[in-house]
Structure 1
Amino acid sequence: MEPVKILIEQLREIARASIELLPQVAVAIVVILLTVGMSKFVKYVARRVFARTKLRTSLKELFTLLLSIFVWILGLMVAAVIVFPGLTPSSILAGLGIGSVAIGFAFKDVFENFLAGIIILFRREMRIGDFIECGNIEGQVDHIAIRESHIRQTDGQLIIVPNSILFKNPVTVRTDLDVRRITIICGVAYDVDVDEARDVIRDAVASCDSVVQDNKPIEIFAQEFAESSINFEVTWWAGSQPLDVRASRDQVVSRVKRALDTAGIEIPFPYRTLTFKEPLK
């Protein structure tokens, strides 16, 4: 019976200690409830303040989240000290430091994406609505979150990309400027006057309303002697959106083809000469 008595005595001690802690637990619960209210108040004030700034929406959400987390950490620390008077803020911070190291090793990829997301949010070169290319990923930036970014492809599909990929790899921002240079190759026959063909092509490109000509010259260079034509490299500037590029290329190709036909300038197709060792019967 002696072990039973010891167990009953230990249970009594635990119950007595729990009853003695009830006031502290009640105060800690009040502190947590106040923390909930304070967190909501801080979020409200932060949104009102950030609404007057020119920060990105995602960056505003990040700062609001960090302020809320800070309030919760303070509130939980105060509640812990009330329930366990032996604790001190320094010991709690030390415990948090050790715990954060362990969590950091366990969730390395999560924290890597989190830090990469913060850095990306501070970038001014990649904005919501920009068309980007990163490796085999190409599309419009729909959303930049803390851990991931949403890229909408031109065919409507959504790609969710971890931020670490966009941070570690080169990213081409196709809409960083309002205009983009476009190049096509146009060939003319060998018996055509090169200068005349160049002038006809230039006039045809200049007549397109999709071509930007303000301080952006139309450049036409004879590029090479191809198998059946002299090839011109035709370069001009148009809007940087993918649809603008496609529409401008379509318009330029149509106008150049029509202008060359009108001028009687041939756009040759490959010629092949067949020779036979033996006479044909």
Structure 2
Amino acid sequence: MEPVAILFDQLREIARGSIEILPQIAVAIVVLILTVLLNKLVKYGMGKALSNTNLRQSLKELFSLLISILVWVLGLMIAAVIVFPGLTPSSILAGLGIGSVAIGFAFKDVFENFLAGIIILFRREMRIGDFIECEDLEGKVEQIAIRESHIRQTDGQLVIVPNSILFKNPLTVRTDQDKRRVTVICGVAYDEDVDQSRDVIRKAVESCDTVYQDDKPIQIFAQEFASSSINFEVTWWTGSKPVDVRRSRDQVVGAVKRALDDAGIEIPFPYRTLTFKEALPVKQQNRDRSPETGEADPQPSA
């Protein structure tokens, strides 16, 4: 019976201890309820304060999240100290430090994307609505979240990109400015006058309404002696969005083609000249006469 008596004694001690800490548990529950109310109050005040700023919506949500985490950490620490008086804030922080190291190794990629997201949110160069290119990915930025960003490609597909990729790799913001330079290559035949061809191309580009001419010059340079043409590098400025670039390139190419045709300037096809080491013999075969007409039927020559 002694083991049974010992077991009952231990159960009585546990029950007595639980009854003794009931007031502390009640106080801890009150602290948690107050933490919930304080968290809502702080988030409401933070939202009111940030509503008058020009910060991004994602950045405002980040600040609210960080404040909420801070309030909950403080509330849980106070509740833990009340329930377990032996705990001290220093011992709790030490335990959190050891735990954070283990969690950091386990969730390395998650924290990497989280920190990259915070840095990206503070950037001014990449905004919602910008067209970007990164790691063979090109599209419009629709959302910048804490861990990931949403990129809408020009074909309509949505790509969810981890923020660490946008942070660690070279990123091209195509719509950082309102204007963007476009270049096409135009070739004319070797028999044509270079200066006349340049003037015709320039007037054709100047006639396009998608070409910005106020403070950005149209540049046309003879670039190279190609295999069958003299190539001109035609450069102008237009809108920075992809659709602006495609529309302007279409208009300029059509205008240049029409202008060169009207001026009688040839845009040559690729020429190929075959040279043989020895002369090739050409033989004429006999042609048979047609029995109906009496005329000779043409025969291919070799």
Q: TM-score, normalised by structure 2?
A: 0.91
Matched, 1:267 2:267: yes
Aligned counterparts of 1:267 and 1:161: Cα–Cα separation in 2:
45
Where in structure 2 are the equivalents of 1:153-164 lying within 5 Å? 153-164=153-164
Partner residue in 1 for 2:11: 11
Q: Deviations along 1:76-127, whole A, 9 cap, x unmatched?
A: 1111111111111111111111111111111111111111111111111111
Partner residue in 1 for 2:281: 278
Deviation at 1:20, TM superposition (A): 1.0
Matched, 1:54 2:86: no
Where in structure 2 are the equivalents of 1:154-233 lying within 5 Å? 154-233=154-233
Deviation at 1:269, TM superposition (A): 0.7
Aligned counterparts of 2:90 and 2:42: Cα–Cα separation in 1:
25
Q: Deviations along 1:113-157, whole A, 9 cap, x unmatched?
A: 111111111111111111111111111111111111111111111
3-state SS of 1:187 partner: strand
Q: Deviations along 1:184-232, whole A, 9 cap, x unmatched?
A: 0000111111001101101111111111112100000000111111100
Where in structure 2 are the equivalents of 1:28-107 lying within 5 Å? 28-107=28-107
What letter corresponds to residue 128 of structure 2 in structure 1?
I
Aligned-CA RMSD value: 1.1
Structure 1 segments unaligned to the other structure (5+ residues): none
What letter corresponds to residue 244 of structure 2 in structure 1?
D
What letter corresponds to residue 261 of structure 2 in structure 1?
D
Aligned counterparts of 2:221 and 2:2: Cα–Cα separation in 1:
104
Partner residue in 1 for 2:243: 243
Aligned counterparts of 1:35 and 1:220: Cα–Cα separation in 2:
69
What letter corresponds to residue 218 of structure 2 in structure 1?
I
Look at both structures and tell me which one has the larger radius of gyration over its CA atoms: 2
Matched, 1:20 2:33: no
> Percent identity among equivalent residues?
78
Q: TM-score, normalised by structure 1?
A: 0.97
Q: Deviations along 1:152-194, whole A, 9 cap, x unmatched?
A: 1111111111111111111011111111100000001111110
Give structure 1 regions of 4+ aligned residues with deviation exceeding 6 angstroms. none
Partner residue in 2 for 1:129: 129
Deviation at 1:37, TM superposition (A): 1.1
Aligned counterparts of 2:135 and 2:272: Cα–Cα separation in 1:
40
What letter corresponds to residue 281 of structure 2 in structure 1?
E
Aligned counterparts of 1:199 and 1:113: Cα–Cα separation in 2:
53
Matched, 1:139 2:139: yes
Deviation at 1:275, TM superposition (A): 5.4
Partner residue in 1 for 2:289: none
Aligned counterparts of 2:105 and 2:4: Cα–Cα separation in 1:
45
Matched, 1:152 2:152: yes
3-state SS of 1:138 partner: strand
Partner residue in 1 for 2:254: 254
Deviation at 1:278, TM superposition (A): 3.1
What letter corresponds to residue 41 of structure 1 in structure 2?
L
Q: Deviations along 1:36-72, whole A, 9 cap, x unmatched?
A: 1111111111111111111111111101110111111
